[in-house]
């Protein structure tokens, strides 16, 4: 019971900022980039870390942390093993949500949208930019599959390193996803738990993340 009481007493006083409609940039992309600069400037650990939530075809949710590797007018991009749990769930449902948890700034960004695959030429370009060890690791791991012990990975890595002594090509089971946002919510912690929540919601099918039209801004109750 003492541990439970300690958990109930853990609180943070949110007093680092406010968010009003007049503060927002003209587009979701510009607003995200401005907040991302703040997160990076504050030297947060891995400001591009984001929680990715997916759902299986039979409605079972799952979530994990991945790294944002690009954001542009299309949406938010990350890379992964396409045969992993997240990869197969995205392929089946095309539905995804992202959360950027910038705790030290008392901020978070929540994205909900449709997932589309990154074009293969873009995936190849990003893959080639990765350290050699990471590229070998991508070939080594059959992500999300059960293995007997760590030696399975170590043995596979040695085999892959011998197979690709020079160039390490893009595996056919590895690629990227872009989350094309339908909503992007900017959350700023406030006193008394009366937080500011402003959400861009897409109102035009062809609107991009960079457009200043095709979106409406809604204030949500905390």
Q: Which residues are catalytic?
A: 193
**Under a CB-based contact definition with an 8 Å cutoff, are residues 39 and 173 in contact?**
no
Taking the alpha carbons of 132, 133, 134, 137 in that order, is the dihedral positive or negative?
A: positive
Q: What does the alpha-carbon distance between residue 116 and residue 95 come to, in Å, rounded to a whole number?
A: 9
How do the residues of the chain divide into helix, strand and coil, expressed in percent and rounded to 5? Answer: 35, 30, 35
Beta bridge partner(s), residue 215: 202
Q: What angle do CA 199, 99, 50 make, to 5 degrees?
A: 140
Separation CA 32–CA 34 (nearest Å): 5
- Quote the tokens at residue 148: 């007997």
Closest CA to 29 of 221, 195, 215, 187: 215
Following DSSP, what letter does each residue of 66-128 receive, concatenated? EE--EESSS-EEEEEETTSHHHHHHHHH-EEEEEEEEGGGTEEEEEEEEEEEPPHHHHHHHHH
């Amino acid at each position: 019971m003492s541990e439970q009481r300690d958990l109930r007493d853990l609180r943070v006083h949110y007093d680092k900022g406010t968010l009003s409609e007049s503060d927002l940039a003209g587009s979701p992309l510009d607003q995200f980039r401005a907040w991302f600069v703040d997160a990076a400037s504050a030297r947060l650990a891995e400001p591009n870390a984001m929680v990715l939530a997916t759902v299986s075809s039979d409605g079972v949710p799952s979530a994990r942390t991945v790294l944002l590797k690009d954001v542009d007018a299309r949406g938010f991009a990350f890379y992964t093993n396409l045969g992993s749990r997240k990869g197969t769930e995205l392929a089946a449902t095309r539905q995804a949500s992202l959360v950027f948890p910038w705790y030290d700034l008392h901020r978070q960004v929540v994205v909900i949208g449709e997932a589309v695959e990154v074009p293969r030429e873009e995936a190849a370009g990003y893959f080639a930019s990765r350290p050699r060890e990471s590229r070998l690791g991508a070939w080594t791991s059959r992500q999300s599959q059960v293995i007997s012990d760590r030696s399975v990975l170590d043995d596979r890595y040695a085999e892959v390193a011998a197979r690709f002594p020079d160039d390490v090509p893009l595996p056919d089971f590895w690629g990227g996803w872009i989350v094309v946002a339908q909503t992007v919510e900017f959350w700023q912690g406030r006193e008394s738990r009366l937080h500011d929540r402003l959400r861009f919601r897409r109102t035009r099918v062809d609107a991009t993340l960079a457009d200043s039209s095709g979106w409406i801004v809604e204030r949500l109750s905390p």
